[in-house]
Structure 1
Amino acid sequence: MSAYAHFVLRIIDARTGDPVEAAPARRGLTRVEAHTEGFDVTALRVLLTADLLVRALELGGTPVWALLDEERQQAELRAGAAALGIRPFEDGRDAASGLGEAQVIHVVREDGGAEPDGVRLAVAPVHSEAPPGDADPAALRLALLARRRNVPLPLDAATLTDAHDTLVRWRRAVAGWARQPSRPIPDEVRAELRTAWEDDLDVPGVLGVLRWVESAPDLPDGARFETYAYADRLLGLDLTRDLGALT
C-alpha cells in the first residue's frame, strides 16, 4: 500500500493549541464556517484558508458543508472571494439546523472578537499597503498562500510582483511540460505534498515541493506536469491555464 493512501488532515485548534483531526469520522460530514468580521485583506485570507481546508478535505474524500457566517459587506466579500478563485460559501444562517456533521471547524481571524464554540482555525492578519481591489487576483492568491496562515503577512508591491512573476513562469512551464508524454507523479513527491498539506495546511511546504520539482534533475517533464496539476487541486492557482498557448 502506498505511503499516501491514508488521508489524515490534522489542524491546530486555536482554543487548545492541540492538533485535532479535521475529519474524525470516516466519510462523516465536516462543516467549515468562515468568520470574517467585515471586508479587508485579512478577511480574504480567512476565506482563502477556509477554501483550502475545504479542498484538502474533499481531496481526502470527506464531504464538506462550507458556510460564510458574516452579515456585513457580504456583497464585497463574495465578489472578492470569487475574484480570488474561492468557491462560493452558503449563508451561515443556514447552519442553525445542522446536517448531523461529525466535525465543525470555525475559521476565524486571530485578532477577531468572536470566539465560537468548536474547533477554531485561527488566521493571522495581513498588513497591506493597498486595498485588495488594486492587486491582480491570481498574484494576490499566491501571495496570501506564501506563508503559513498563523503567521502575519506583510503585503506590498514587491511581494505581489514576485507572486505574479512566479505564476507566469509556472504556467508557461506547465504548458511546455504538457507537450511531453505523461508520466506518473513519483510516490515520494506525492507523499511530500500530502505530508505538507495534512500538517495544519502547510501550503508553503506544498509550494516548496513545486519549486523543487520545477528544476529537479532526471524528472520527466510529464511527471512535472502531473505534479503541478495535482497540487493545483489544492492551491487553486489555475496553473494549467496556458495549455495549448505555446506555438
Structure 2
Amino acid sequence: MPAYARRRAYARLVLRITDARTGEPVDATPARRGLTRVQAHTRGSDPTHLRVLLVADLLVRALELGGTPVWALLTGEGRQAELRAAGAALGVRPFEDGGDTGAGLGEAQVLHVVGEGGATPDGVRVAVAPVLWEAPGAPGDADPAALRMALLARPRSATLRIGPATLDEAGATLDRWRRAVADWAGRPSRPVPDPVRADLRTAWEDDLDTAGVLGVLRAVETDPDLADGARFETYAYADRLLGLDLTRDLGAPA
C-alpha cells in the first residue's frame, strides 16, 4: 500500500517540533502571527555542525511554506567561513550573523538549533544528533547533493553514520529521481493528489520528518495508479522543502 494511502485530514496542519529541554512537542509557528527567529548555534565546520546548519535551513523552509515570516541567524565560533561555504555548497540559503542579536526584533517565537548537549538561551531548543564521518577524505570532497540527500534520510534525532556506501546510495537515488522528473515533465500536467499532498505535509509538520517525506516520494515513484504529470508536480512540490534541486535536468539532452 502506498505510504500516502492513509489519507489523513489536511486541514490546518501546524509544524510541531520537539523541544529538547522538555522532550515535548511544541508549535514551531507562534500562536499569534508574527516573526519567528531560527538561530543555528555551531562550534566549528565538522559534519555534525553542518547538519545543525542544514536542519536550521529546513526549519526556515518549512515555516516559510506555511506562511510564517522567518529571521535566519547563525551564531558560532571556529571556522565559520568554512561552515558557511560548506552550507552554500549543500544548498543552504544565507544566514545572517547572529553574534550580537540582543533582544532581536520583537519576534513571536525563537527556535534554537544546536548539537546534542549544546546550551542555548531561553527558547525552544531543537537538538541535532552527531554525524560520524566514515567516508574517505573530508566532507568537502563528497558530492554536495549526495551529502544533502544522505543527511535528509535519517531523523535529525538519530546519530548518522556516513560512509562510502551511504553516499553512493544517496547519489544513485538522486540521479534516478532527477532523470525521472525530467522525463515526467514532458507528460500532461496533473495536480498533486490530495492524499499525497496531505502525507507530505503531515511528515514535515511532524517534527520535520524528512525521512518520511522521502518515503512518500519513493511510493509515488512506483505507484502504477499515478499519472506521470502528478509525479512531476509531487516531486517539485516536495523539493521546496528538501532543496535537492530535483528539477535540475529539465530540458537537458536525454
| TM-score of Structure 1 vs Structure 2, range by shorter chain | over 0.9
Q: TM-score normalised to the size of structure 1? A: 0.96
Distance 2:41 2:139 in 1: 18
Show the counterpart of 1:45. Answer: 51
Check if 1:60 corresponds to 2:66.
yes
Give the alignment's Cα RMSD to 1 decimal.
Answer: 1.3
Higher RCO structure (Cα 8 Å, ≥6 apart): 2
Show the counterpart of 1:142. Answer: 149
Show the counterpart of 2:89. Answer: 83
**Number of aligned pairs?**
245
Check if 1:33 corresponds to 2:39.
yes
Distance 2:30 2:250 in 1: 38
Show the counterpart of 2:195. Answer: 188
User: CA 1:5/1:94 → structure 2, altered by over 3 Å: closer, same or farther?
Assistant: farther
Show the counterpart of 2:132. Answer: 127
Distance 1:26 1:142 in 2: 34
Structure-to-structure mapping, 1:1-247, within 5 angstroms: 3-112=9-118, 114-130=119-135, 131-247=138-254
Q: TM-score normalised to the size of structure 2? A: 0.93
- Please list every run of 5 or more consecutive structure 2 residues that lacks an aligned counterpart in the other structure: 1-7
- Please list every run of 5 or more consecutive structure 1 residues that lacks an aligned counterpart in the other structure: none
Aligned 8 A contact 1:110 1:124 in 2: yes
Aligned 8 A contact 1:148 1:202 in 2: yes
Residue 230 of structure 2 aligns to a residue in which SS?
Answer: helix
CA drift of 1:103 comes to 0.4
CA drift of 1:46 comes to 0.3
Distance 1:67 1:46 in 2: 12
CA drift of 1:26 comes to 4.4
